[in-house]
């Protein structure tokens, strides 16, 4: 029996096939499906490779709304740079949910960076103050780049600052992102300077401790916190979490992985109900989101598989239309 050839999309193909505006639209679909119960999504599986000090993360998903399956495998090997290899590598498989035919295989690292930024872009659109125009980014890596790109796409950002402990990385970030986004990007020498008059704040670091102090945060700011993905990590001060309106990508996942929220919860500074609102609830109008201009809003994201599925489906549609990618050898049986 013949099946259609599988389309392979490289990192460059994914970036061309998934512009940020499309990615944000895909995230709106993803979180609506998640909160509507249209996504079957087991919690992320973690498979350690202790001898190599690495790990694999496996994220499956099924969407009844889109009649598709997706499977993402991510490997994390911190020693890889010494081998001339990236620390994080990933692939996403997209499968037809009506026939079981595999449709596409695509680079997962680029897809993950784009969809993670897009989720924050959607959150900024829904939770930041109207007229938000100043962004602050903590971190100067790949995720930080898509965070700022998404903020500029979702809001009318006119200026941005970036802080990272590595000044050289910060300078490279500013030099690259300013012409790319068409907004001035300034290096901040301290976290406090980074936060001055910021409307939208994005934290995308590997820090295990808060990257700024509670008293440095301007009133009315919106925060997208995406860097802390383990219970022992926290980018956001507990005092900020306690006084903020908190929205999560997925409550069950947050209860497993979101150290920013789990640490104050375990200290009994907050209750689970403090972060029970999902972004999909705001998308669907079940939660009003921001209530006051001076309110602090916090979107805490650990990343969920329905984001990969919806982003991959959008990328596949666009790739077919644009003639991107390579067909793998036709399979016969």
Res 333 pLDDT > 60:
no
Q: What is the pLDDT of residue 138?
A: 97
From residue 251, alpha-carbon distances to 132, 255, 272, 278, 280 in Å are: 27, 6, 9, 7, 11
Is residue 300 flagged as an active site residue?
no
From residue 47, alpha-carbon distances to 11, 35, 59, 73, 107 in Å are: 25, 28, 11, 10, 20
- Please, are residues 171 and 185 in contact by the beta-carbon 8 Å criterion? no
pLDDT tens digits, 51-62: 888 999 999 999
Per the prediction, the chain carries an average pLDDT of 93
Read off the tokens for 143. 């995720």
pLDDT tens digits, 293-319: 999 999 999 989 999 999 999 999 999
From residue 105, alpha-carbon distances to 6, 99, 168, 266 in Å are: 7, 17, 35, 40
Confidence (pTM): 0.92
Residue of 44, 62, 72, 290 marked catalytic:
72
pLDDT tens digits, 68-86: 999 999 998 888 888 888 8
Q: What is the pLDDT of residue 53?
A: 87
Q: Which domains does the chain have, with CATH numbers?
A: 7-111+306-327 (3.30.1780.10), 128-303 (3.40.50.720)
Res 212 pLDDT > 50:
yes
Read off the tokens for 131. 């007229």
Q: What is the pLDDT of residue 331?
A: 41
């Amino acid at each position: 029996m013949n099946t259609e050839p599988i389309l392979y999309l490289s990192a460059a193909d994914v970036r061309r096939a998934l512009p940020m505006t499309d990615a944000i639209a895909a995230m709106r679909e993803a979180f609506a499906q998640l909160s509507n119960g249209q996504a079957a999504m087991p919690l992320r599986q973690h498979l350690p490779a202790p001898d190599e000090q690495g790990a694999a993360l496996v994220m499956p998903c099924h969407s009844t709304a889109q009649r598709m399956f997706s499977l993402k495998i991510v490997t994390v090997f911190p020693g890889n740079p010494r081998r001339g290899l990236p620390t994080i590598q990933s692939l996403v498989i997209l499968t037809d949910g009506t026939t079981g035919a595999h449709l596409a295989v695509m680079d997962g690292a680029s897809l993950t960076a784009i969809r993670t930024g897009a989720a924050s872009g959607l959150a900024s659109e829904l939770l930041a103050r109207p007229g938000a125009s100043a962004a602050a980014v903590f971190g100067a890596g790949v995720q930080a780049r898509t965070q700022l790109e998404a903020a500029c796409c979702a809001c009318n950002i006119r200026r941005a600052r970036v802080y990272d402990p590595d000044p050289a990385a910060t300078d490279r970030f500013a030099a690259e992102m300013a012409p790319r986004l068409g907004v001035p990007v300034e290096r901040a020498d301290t976290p406090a300077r980074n936060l001055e008059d910021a409307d939208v704040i994005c934290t995308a670091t590997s820090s295990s401790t808060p990257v700024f102090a509670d008293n440095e945060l301007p009133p009315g700011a919106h925060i997208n916190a995406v860097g802390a993905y383990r219970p022992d990590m926290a980018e956001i001060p507990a005092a900020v979490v306690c006084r903020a309106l908190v929205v999560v990508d997925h409550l069950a996942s947050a209860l497993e992985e979101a150290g920013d929220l789990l640490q104050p919860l375990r200290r009994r500074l907050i209750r689970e109900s403090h972060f029970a609102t999902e972004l999909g609830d705001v998308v669907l109008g079940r939660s009003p989101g921001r209530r006051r201009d001076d309110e602090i809003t916090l979107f805490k994201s650990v990343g969920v598989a329905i984001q990969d599925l919806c982003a991959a489906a959008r990328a596949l549609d666009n790739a077919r239309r644009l003639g991107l990618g390579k067909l793998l050898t036709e399979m016969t049986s």
